[in-house]
Amino acid sequence: MRRSLICLAAVAVVTSGCTSDEAAPDGEDFQPAPAPTVELDLLGDLASPLTVGLVVTGSGPRGEGAEFAAPAAGARVAEFRLDGDEDRLQLEVVDDRGTTEGAVAATQQLLDAGVAGIVYASAGAHLDAALDLASGAGTAVLLPYDTRDDLAAETAWRTGPSDQQVGDVVGAMLSGRGQRTPVAFTGEGTGQGLAALAQADRRVTIAAGDALAGQVAAAAQPLVDGAADSVLVSASAETAAETVAALQGTAPTAPVVLGPSALTPAFAARLRDLGSAGGATTAGQFFTVGPAASDASTDEGAVRFLDAVRLAAQDADLQSLSGTDAFGRLGAATADVRSHDAVLALAAAAAGAGSTEPGAVLGALRGLELGADDGLAGPALAFADQQALTDAGVAVLQATTRGAERGVEQDAPALSWFVLPDGEG
C-alpha cells in the first residue's frame, strides 16, 4: 500500500501548488505545500504482519449495533496509515448480523484465525456471549461504540463514552443552561444515563412503530405548556430520528439532546428521509455526546486523520469494509475516529510487546496510554481501566447541516457535528 500512499502524496503536493494562474514574482523561491503526513510507522519492527479482527453488524434488530457499520470504516483508514509497503496490517472483517449466535460465531472465527485482538464495532446485548468467549481465550476486545457501563468481560475495553459519562456531561450542560425539567424518551439499545436526568414522571419508554408519533406527542405536552424546558432522547439511531420528527410536530423549537447513536449516518439519513416526506427537518437544536474530536477539529490528530481519509479515498485499489466497492465511494464520508483509534491502539500494543501473539498484545495493552503523538485521531486513551476514554476526552457536540465536507463523491450524511467549546451549549 505504500506505493499508492506515496503516489497520492505526490499528487497532493502538485495540487496544493496550483491554486492560482498567476506566475510567481521573479526571484521568489516558490515552495509547494508539503504533502499531509499520514503514515504511521508503528509496525516496522514486528517479525510478521499484524492481523486485527473487526466485527461489524450489517443487519439486525434496532438497538443491536447496525448503525455503527458505516462509521466502522475508520478502521480501514487506520489500516491505510499503518500498512506500509509490506502490508504490515491486515483487517479480518466479519459480520455478526446482530444476533447472539452470529456474534459468537464471528468471534470464534477470528479467534481461530489467530488475530492479535478484536475491534467490535457494534453495540448491544447480543455482544455479551462473544465478549466472554474472547475473554476466555485471552484476546483483547476494544469497543468504540458500546456505551454500556456493565461490561463483565475482563479483556474488553470501551474506547468511546460510557453511559455514565454521557449522563454526567449532559447533566452539566443542562445545569449550565438552567434547564432543570427535561422530558426523557428512552428506546431500544441504550442505557438509563439520560433518562436518570429527568423526573420519574417525565421518563417515557418508547418503541418503534405506528404508535410512536402519538406517544411522543402526548408525552411532549409539558413542553408546549411550559412545564418542561428540554428533551432527552436515547434510542437507536433510527428510532431517535423518528422521535425527533414526532417532537417537531409538537414542540418544534425545543432543544433536543440525543444519545451517541445520533453521531451515526443512520440518524441523519432517517431524519432526512422523514423530511423528504414532509414530516421532519434536519434543522434544529440537536446536541449529543461523543469524543472531543470532529471534522471541524483543529487538533493535530484529527487533522491528520482527515488528511488520511482524503488520500485513502483517492486510492482506487483500497476496498470498503464490505469489499463491494472502493473505499472512496463507500466509507470515506462516514469513517469515524473511534474505530480508527481502536485499531491503532491494538497496533501500538503489538508494537510495545514486539509480538503479534494475542496474549502478548493483551498484556501490553493493560496500562497502555496513548495520545495524538502516538497517532490517535481522537482524545487520549488510558487502558488502566475498562473505560479507556477518560472524562477529559468526552464532550458535547452540536449538529450542523453544512455537511461533512470531506470532498468525496458519495451520499454523505445530512448532518455533521462540531465540539462545543467549554462553557457553551
Query: Between these two residues, 410 and 266, which has the higher pLDDT value?
Result: 266
Res 200: pLDDT: 95
Q: What angle in degrees, to the nearest 10, is found between the helix axes of 74-82 and 337-353? A: 40
CB distance 368 to 42 below 8 Å: no
Q: Confidence band (pLDDT; 50, 70, 90) for 159?
A: very high
Q: Same domain for 237 and 336? A: no
**Average pLDDT of the residues in 322-335:** 94
Taking Cα atoms as reference points, which of 324, 302, 297 lies closest to residue 377? 302
User: Per the domain annotation, does 321 fall within a domain?
Assistant: yes
Backbone angles phi, psi at 333, to 5 degrees: -75, -15
Q: Same domain for 220 and 273? A: yes
Question: What is the tens place of the pLDDT at every residue in 242-263?
Answer: 999 999 999 998 999 999 999 9
Question: What is the tens place of the pLDDT at every residue in 215-244?
Answer: 999 999 999 999 999 999 999 999 999 999
User: Per the domain annotation, does 5 fall within a domain?
Assistant: no
Residues 373 and 399: their CA atoms lie apart, in Å, by: 28
State the Cα torsion 242-246-252-256 to the nearest 10°.
-50
User: Per the domain annotation, does 40 fall within a domain?
Assistant: no
Q: Same domain for 344 and 378? A: yes
- Is 70 exceeded by the pLDDT of residue 407? no
For 199, the grid coordinates are 423526573
Angle at 349 between CA 354 and CA 149, to 5 degrees: 155
Res 298: pLDDT: 86
- Is 70 exceeded by the pLDDT of residue 380? yes
Helix count and strand count (H, E) for the chain: 12, 14
Residue type, 258: L
User: Per the domain annotation, does 41 fall within a domain?
Assistant: no
Res 23: pLDDT: 47
What distance lies between CA 73 and its chain's CA centroid?
Answer: 9
User: Per the domain annotation, does 31 fall within a domain?
Assistant: no
Q: Same domain for 306 and 356? A: yes
**Residue-averaged pLDDT of the chain:** 89
Q: Same domain for 176 and 65? A: no
In angstroms, the Cα distances linking 84 to 34, 224, 310, 341 are 19, 58, 17, 18
Strands (E), 235-345: 256-258, 286-291
Q: Same domain for 183 and 208? A: yes
Query: Between these two residues, 190 and 5, which has the higher pLDDT value?
Result: 190
303: three-class secondary structure by DSSP: helix
User: Per the domain annotation, does 42 fall within a domain?
Assistant: no
Q: Same domain for 190 and 238? A: yes
Residues 71 and 127: their CA atoms lie apart, in Å, by: 18
Question: What is the tens place of the pLDDT at every residue in 55-87?
Answer: 999 999 999 999 999 999 999 999 999 997 778
User: Per the domain annotation, does 336 fall within a domain?
Assistant: yes
Taking Cα atoms as reference points, which of 399, 421, 373, 357 lies closest to residue 47? 357
Residues 253 and 47: their CA atoms lie apart, in Å, by: 59
Q: Same domain for 106 and 186? A: no
Res 25: pLDDT: 52
Residues 3 and 376: their CA atoms lie apart, in Å, by: 23
Residues 125 and 114: their CA atoms lie apart, in Å, by: 25
By CB neighbour count within 10 A (0-12 exposed, 13-18 middle, 19+ buried), where does 23 fall?
A: exposed
Residue type, 175: S
Please give the share of the chain, as a percent, with pLDDT higher than 90: 77
User: Per the domain annotation, does 85 fall within a domain?
Assistant: yes
Q: Same domain for 78 and 148? A: yes
Q: Confidence band (pLDDT; 50, 70, 90) for 28?
A: low
CB distance 273 to 245 below 8 Å: no
**Average pLDDT of the residues in 110-136:** 97
For 208, the grid coordinates are 418503534
User: Could you give the number of structural domains in the chain?
Assistant: 2
Taking Cα atoms as reference points, which of 166, 155, 209, 221 lies closest to residue 191? 166
Q: Same domain for 153 and 74? A: yes
Work out whether the CA dihedral 321, 322, 327, 333 comes out positive or negative.
Answer: negative
For 360-376, letters b (16+ CB in 10 Å) and e give bbbbbbeebebebebbb
Q: Same domain for 152 and 227? A: no
Would you tell me how many other CB atoms lie within 10 Å of the CB of residue 322? 14
**Structural domain of 311:** 50-162+297-392
Q: Same domain for 204 and 158? A: no
Residues 272 and 86: their CA atoms lie apart, in Å, by: 43
Give the domain CATH number at 224.
Answer: 3.40.50.2300
Strands (E), 244-388: 256-258, 286-291, 369-370, 381-382
Residue type, 15: T
- Is 60 exceeded by the pLDDT of residue 20? no
**Average pLDDT of the residues in 192-220:** 94
Taking Cα atoms as reference points, which of 49, 67, 43, 184 lies closest to residue 122? 67
**Average pLDDT of the residues in 418-422:** 84
